[in-house]
A and B are shown apart, each in its own frame.
Chain A
């Protein structure tokens, strides 16, 4: 089942003088099994949008469907616990939410909350911790003594331990070192391709969009400005210009080469092919 938003609006502090319309009649359909990037300026409504996916926010108007559940504005919606099991949401800076004595306990908290026995939850937790790239020596450590990047991994393991079918990540790599960020993105891609999870990533990093995602949704001032596949998004820089996004380095290079008269089509999005085309013109 695709994720569908139908005319969804969300207003913070509705019916007060501080009312603020963060989403304005949004329509959006996200196909199963895709890895989609949600991009847009700070304050555009990206986080508000994704917080609807596990019913942390309920639309003020309109309705959405996710993981076979319908969430409708102004209604008592049932089955939200099961929905939260199906849709794992990782907040910005999730490391602030770690609280248990040991990493295993912290990660096992989620599955236990959904009725899994302590022993089984511990096994699931250990597997999730290994999946995010931390070895067995971390199991009994306190989550509070880890570095920022390691804490982030533990927080993500906590969501993976619930084995959600939809994974929603709000800026999962902000503040990580480049290598750590790449490993995280590769992990999400693997969960997407091998475990067939639908993945949504809120990000500002266009290199990540280019290298790991299938589709791009651009949010602007509470509206969906565009929803296109990656190739279209980066091919012709008019999409990037409309979205007011600084293109990734490889696209800037392509443009620079084109301006200097090199014959390079807009479809090229990678360095090896750019180099091949340049060779055709400079080599004997």
Chain B
């Protein structure tokens, strides 16, 4: 089944379309990445999928439910989103309150709330901080709480809108590992809007947006090998491909494209043949 289908969607904040006739789909259980430079429409697409913005034309389906007023809350139960700025999404005065906020909105009984809060704060490694105030937390910890908050709603699909871009390298690595863990354990569909080309290389499916249109759509192998297009779109290529090219310039050809370790192994084999 398709987790998300976006069909011929256009959207304008005022006169000009910032999303023009965009179509793509996300298969259930996959880790999909969306890339594109600042202003390409990535975040707008995320907001359209969760119904924070309304498309001008076209259709969006989430697990076959068409996104409309009638289904809006059914869909919001299925899709959780974590935004970029850890400070803009912390609502409660403590970690416990913050996770409870979403549950209250979903009319979860008070008796059921505490075990849920315990469970999900533990999942993200924040159980020791339940009574901490947000000012005492690092950016990475705040993002963990945001993730616990959406996980507690037991969504099928999680959207991360540049959720690690404001974090330091350690915070980034921790959150990326957590996302990967959630994806594997619960078989959740992950849609990650990112600038991290190495995260893209490790994903199942990549969608490249440019000026509000889908520029490329496919597996990382397919998309990242279209270097000319990526270059034109001012997007980076993974380090592994840069290394492959540096070797090609020296007349050495390796088969591997996305795995640096694999390339070094190939080089070792080439050396032993010498």
Contacts and interface: CB of A to CB of B under 8 A. Distances in A.
Contacts of B53: none
Contact of A282 (B243, B260, B267): B267
A42 B268 CA distance: 39
Contacts of B260: 249, 252-253, 256
A32 to B, nearest CB: 30
B38 interface: yes
A274 B271 CA distance: 15
Interface residues of B, number: 37
Contacts of A176: 38, 195
Nearest to B237: A178
Given A275-B249, A279-B252, A282-B274, A174 B166 contact: yes
Given A178-B235, A260-B264, A275-B247, A41 B170 contact: yes
Contacts of B166: 174-175
Contacts of A272: 246, 249
A164 interface: no
B139 A42 contact: yes
Contact of B246 (A174, A204, A260, A275): A275
Interface residues of A, number: 37
Contact of B171 (A42, A150, A271, A283): A42
Contacts of B242: 271
Given A175-B165, A178-B195, A260-B268, A279 B234 contact: no
User: Which of A42, A176, A272, A282: most chain B CB closer than 10 A?
Assistant: A282
A45 to B, nearest CB: 14
B125 interface: no
B84 interface: yes
Contacts of A241: none
Given A150-B38, A204-B169, A179 B250 contact: no
Interface in A157-174: 174
Interface of B: 36-39, 84, 138-139, 162, 165-166, 168-171, 173, 195, 197, 234-236, 239, 242-243, 246-247, 249-252, 260-261, 264, 267-268, 270-271, 274
Across the A-B interface, give the 4 residue pairs with the lowest CB-CB distance, nearest first: A149-B38, A147-B39, A179-B234, A275-B246
Interface of A: 41-43, 147-150, 174-180, 204, 245-246, 249-250, 252-253, 256-257, 260-262, 271-272, 274-276, 278-279, 281-284
